[in-house]
């Protein structure tokens, strides 16, 4: 067990260091490969520092050679670090536009090819989704938390429609995933405690959003929710 403030004392400078590296890497690598490798190193260092052990299953179900949208539950602050290591391919984060305004960190996110979404009003949100769908059709895989925020008790929150609208517009498969154990490491609204523990990530079978077997609207949301729910530990 580690005091959360002590963890942050090391983790914040670590984040700044890798953010600067990612920015510099973006100057010589316009495709963002160096920035992505910085993100992988950052996440690995953050998990080691916290004493987190990672277990991944179902990675063989992730389609190769085509963009996908990864969708799963959001348990805690360590989900981003964990997914950066668990997802078996290069991907981009679909993140709130406000995060891209953070000094150094926001610039590093742009260098790594992450995609901002402006949710300040409906029209801006739709324009952001159209821009994101275009990026995905061009080959970018992304991660979306359909709950929109972290859970308080581990149960799934109601899903927001934005990620599913994006999937239908992009016409790419959704790969569901389930995270277990993140809440034990650092529960929501708890900054003074980091507890070393195992976090597991389980990938489910891809769900089509185009073609003859495509799902749309509520049936698509229900199928994704059922797949994520099936992997949750009781």
Asked if the model's pLDDT at residue 168 lies above 80, the reply is yes
Label residue 223 by pLDDT band (50, 70, 90).
very high
Asked if the model's pLDDT at residue 21 lies above 90, the reply is no
Q: What is the mean pLDDT of residues 74-102?
A: 87
pTM: 0.87
Give me the numbers of helices (H) and strands (E) for the chain, helices first please.
8, 7
Q: What is the mean pLDDT of residues 51-74?
A: 94
Q: What is the mean pLDDT of residues 180-197?
A: 80
| CA separation for the pair 32, 123 (Å, rounded) | 29
pLDDT, position 122: 67
Asked if the model's pLDDT at residue 228 lies above 90, the reply is yes
Strands of the chain (E only): list them: 53-57, 69-72, 92-96, 115-117, 142-144, 174-180, 198-203
Asked if the model's pLDDT at residue 24 lies above 70, the reply is yes
The percentage of the chain sitting over the pLDDT mark of 90, rounded to a whole number, equals: 44
pLDDT, position 137: 92
Label residue 98 by pLDDT band (50, 70, 90).
confident
Asked if the model's pLDDT at residue 1 lies above 60, the reply is no
pLDDT, position 192: 67
Beta strands 142-144 and 53-57, pairing class: unpaired
Enter the DSSP assignment of 194: B
pLDDT, position 196: 83
Helices (H), 67-115: 79-86, 105-111
Predicted confidence (pLDDT) per residue in 110-165, tens digit: 777 778 887 766 677 778 888 889 989 999 899 999 998 888 888 899 999 988 99
């Amino acid at each position: 067990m580690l005091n959360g403030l002590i963890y942050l004392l090391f983790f914040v400078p670590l984040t700044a260091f890798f953010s600067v590296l990612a920015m510099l890497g973006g100057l010589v690598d316009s495709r963002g490969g160096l920035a992505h490798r910085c993100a992988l190193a950052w996440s690995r260092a953050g998990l080691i520092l916290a004493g987190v052990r990672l277990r991944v299953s179902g990675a063989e179900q992730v389609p190769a050679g085509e963009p996908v949208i990864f969708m799963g539950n959001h348990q805690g602050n360590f989900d981003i670090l964990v997914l950066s290591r668990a997802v078996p391919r290069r991907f981009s984060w679909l993140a709130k536009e406000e995060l891209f305004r953070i000094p150094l960190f926001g610039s590093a996110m742009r260098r790594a090819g992450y995609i901002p979404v402006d949710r300040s009003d409906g029209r801006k949100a739709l324009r952001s989704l159209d821009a994101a769908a275009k990026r995905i059709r061009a080959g970018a895989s992304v991660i979306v938390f359909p709950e929109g925020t972290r859970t308080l008790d581990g149960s799934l929150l109601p899903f927001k429609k934005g990620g599913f609208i994006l999937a239908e517009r992009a016409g790419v498969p959704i790969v569901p995933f389930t995270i277990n154990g993140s809440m034990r490491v650092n529960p929501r609204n708890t900054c003074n405690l980091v507890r070393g523990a195992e976090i597991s990530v389980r990938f489910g079978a891809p769900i089509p959003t185009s073609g003859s077997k495509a799902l749309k609207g509520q049936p698509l949301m229900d199928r994704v929710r059922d797949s994520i729910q099936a992997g949750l530990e009781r």
